[in-house]
């Protein structure tokens, strides 16, 4: 089973795997060659990670969990292993650096972090490969529960935009005196150290054993006050993939000038929005900006929404861009005109904010066909191990 997440969104895909009680590996890849792996056993998630693996994520979790000297991570598992992070966790458990409860807690956080990344992706391709389950197994997580948590965290995360944009951003203290007076001494000392060491929000969440949305919620008031600011960390494929989707919003001049309900809803939900009141200007912008989605009213002048849609659809840059039309009337004639113009969908106005966001999320798609490469279909099997019942809990 393979395809584009534009054809089958991630939530539906994961629920199908859960309902089918499938066992195997789900590989996901973006156009920038960023890859992820989710391992399943009977429809439940047992592990999830980004690829290729390093030791950074595990090392961050060990900082919080270990209270004794740690052997060098590369001695726990060779980087030639299929999943050195997972093998490393198993080695730490067998050597009694961890209890089974601690390992399960770390793996749950790793799975939640990976799903949060994937739910943020506007574009990706997937391949599911039936394969023996990863062994040994430490957790067996219900997809529905994880998705509910992930979507709630993602909505919360988007509400902090544009103050907080990317998990790769790093803390910078801009008003030390005010911040020191407002916070306990120990908390301020930690913030100073994290700022000095250029700790990203993603690493901070790992070090504290929290999710990104919770970290953002705690920091947000101080960022609003101007006492803290976030600066971009080193550019990475993950940071590129996590940029909010760009939406081109075309409406009549009065609606754009006054701040329409759709535009405000989109910005509050974390999308980048370019609002243009004139269809000819919108035509030029669509060709130059390459938006992820175009949202346009049918009642425009001198070109109406159907004509604008047809011109955009027949242009090379926008031939595969989702185009949603908004119409106060939605009858058989409007649907036929929208289909002939090449619209992805025509929606009846007014729309509730939640309805608008849900519909837009369904149409954010990759701009061109892509044949994924580098998605290994090899089965991952770890060395045989004794029963987990012999390990400390």
Tens digit of pLDDT for each residue in 175-186? 999 999 999 999
Q: Give the tokens for residue 263.
A: 């535009």
**Mean per-residue pLDDT over the chain, rounded:** 81
| 16-20, 244-248, 389-393, range with the lowest pLDDT | 389-393
Between the ranges 145-149, 187-191, 261-265, where is the mean pLDDT highest?
145-149
pLDDT at residue 134 tops 60: yes
pLDDT at residue 51 tops 70: yes
pLDDT at residue 375 tops 70: no
Give the Cα separation of 268 and 361 in Å (integer). 14
User: What pLDDT, on the 0 to 100 scale, is given for residue 246?
Assistant: 87
What percent of the chain shows pLDDT beyond 90? 39
Tens digit of pLDDT for each residue in 206-233? 988 899 999 999 999 999 999 999 987 6
Q: Which has more confidence, 7 or 382?
A: 7
Give the Cα separation of 168 and 175 in Å (integer). 22
Give the Cα separation of 225 and 34 in Å (integer). 35
Tens digit of pLDDT for each residue in 289-340? 888 899 999 988 888 999 999 999 888 778 878 999 999 888 889 999 999 9
Domains in the chain, start-ordered, CATH in brackets?
2-157+377-390 (no CATH), 170-240 (no CATH), 246-363 (3.40.50.2300)
Between the ranges 207-221, 255-269, 277-291, 357-371, where is the mean pLDDT highest?
207-221
What percent of the chain shows pLDDT beyond 70? 82
Cis-peptide, bond into residue 177, ω within 30° of zero:
no
Tens digit of pLDDT for each residue in 162-174? 889 889 999 999 9
Q: Give the tokens for residue 381.
A: 């099997």
**Which residue do the tokens 């943020």 mark?**
120
- In this structure, the number of other CB atoms found within 10 A of the CB of residue 210 comes to 15
User: What pLDDT, on the 0 to 100 scale, is given for residue 371?
Assistant: 36
Strands (E) in the chain, as ranges, are 2-4, 24-29, 35-41, 44-51, 125-130, 170-173, 228-231, 246-250, 272-276, 293-297, 323-327, 345-348
pLDDT at residue 238 tops 90: no
Give the Cα separation of 54 and 73 in Å (integer). 10
User: What pLDDT, on the 0 to 100 scale, is given for residue 161?
Assistant: 86
Q: In Å, how far are 2, 6, 46, 111, 130 from 22, measured between CA atoms?
A: 14, 22, 12, 18, 7
Tens digit of pLDDT for each residue in 15-27? 999 999 999 999 9
Name the percent of the chain in helix, strand, coil, to the closest 5: 45, 15, 40
User: What pLDDT, on the 0 to 100 scale, is given for residue 319?
Assistant: 81
pLDDT at residue 242 tops 80: no
Q: Give the tokens for residue 105.
A: 């807690």
| 76-85, 245-254, 317-326, range with the lowest pLDDT | 76-85
- Residue 35 pairs with which residues in a beta bridge? 29, 51
pLDDT at residue 369 tops 80: no
- In this structure, the number of other CB atoms found within 10 A of the CB of residue 6 comes to 18
Give the Cα separation of 12 and 367 in Å (integer). 21
Averaged over 333-358, what is the pLDDT? 87
Q: Which has more confidence, 87 or 218?
A: 218
**Which residue do the tokens 């919108």 mark?**
282
pLDDT at residue 88 tops 80: yes
The 10 Å CB-count burial string (b at 16+, else e) for 146-180 is bbeebeebbeebbbbbeebbbbbbbbebeeeeebb
Give the Cα separation of 278 and 264 in Å (integer). 19
User: What pLDDT, on the 0 to 100 scale, is given for residue 254?
Assistant: 60
User: What pLDDT, on the 0 to 100 scale, is given for residue 24?
Assistant: 94
Global pTM?
Answer: 0.61
Q: Give the tokens for residue 187.
A: 């908390």
**232: three-class secondary structure by DSSP:** coil
Determine whether 351 is exposed, middle or buried from the number of CB atoms within 10 Å of its CB (0-12, 13-18, 19+).
middle
CB neighbours of 100 closer than 8 A, spacing ≥ 6?
93, 138, 388, 391, 392, 393
């Amino acid at each position: 089973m393979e395809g584009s997440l534009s054809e089958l969104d991630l939530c539906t895909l994961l629920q199908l795997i859960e309902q089918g009680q499938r066992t195997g590996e789900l590989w996901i890849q973006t156009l920038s060659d960023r890859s992820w792996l989710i391992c399943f056993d009977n429809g439940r998630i047992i592990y999830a990670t980004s690829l290729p693996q390093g030791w950074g994520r595990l090392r961050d979790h060990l900082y919080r969990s270990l209270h004794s000297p740690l052997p060098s991570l590369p001695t726990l598992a060779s980087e030639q292993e299929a999943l050195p992070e997972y093998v490393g966790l198993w080695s730490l458990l067998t050597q009694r650096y961890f209890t089974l409860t601690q390992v399960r807690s770390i793996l749950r956080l790793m799975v939640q972090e990976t799903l949060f990344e994937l739910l943020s992706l506007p574009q990706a391709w997937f391949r599911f490969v039936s394969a023996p389950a990863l062994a040994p197994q430490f957790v067996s997580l219900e997809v529905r529960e994880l998705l509910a948590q992930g979507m709630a965290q993602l909505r919360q995360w988007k509400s902090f935009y544009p103050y907080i944009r990317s998990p790769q951003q790093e803390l910078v203290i801009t008003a030390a005196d005010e911040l020191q007076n407002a916070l306990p001494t120990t908390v301020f000392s930690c913030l100073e150290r994290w700022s000095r060491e250029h700790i990203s929000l993603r690493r901070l969440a790992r070090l504290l054993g929290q999710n990104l949305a919770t970290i953002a919620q705690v920091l947000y008031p101080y960022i609003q006050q101007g006492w803290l600011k976030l600066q971009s960390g080193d550019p990475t494929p993950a940071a590129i993939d996590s940029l909010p989707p760009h939406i081109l919003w075309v409406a009549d001049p009065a609606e754009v000038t006054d701040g329409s309900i759709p535009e405000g809803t989109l910005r509050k939900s974390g999308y980048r929005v370019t609002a243009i009141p004139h269809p000819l200007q919108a035509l030029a912008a669509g060709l130059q900006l390459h938006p992820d989605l175009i949202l346009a009213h049918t009642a425009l002048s001198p070109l109406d929404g159907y004509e604008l849609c047809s011109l955009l659809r027949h242009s090379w840059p926008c031939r595969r861009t989702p185009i949603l039309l908004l119409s106060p009337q939605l009858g058989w004639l409007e649907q036929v005109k929208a289909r002939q113009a090449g619209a992805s969908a025509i929606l009846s106005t007014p729309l509730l904010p939640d309805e608008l966001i849900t519909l837009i999320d369904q149409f954010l798609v990759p701009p061109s066909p892509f044949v994924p490469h580098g998605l290994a279909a090899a089965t991952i099997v770890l060395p045989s191990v004794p029963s987990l019942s012999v390990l400390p809990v």
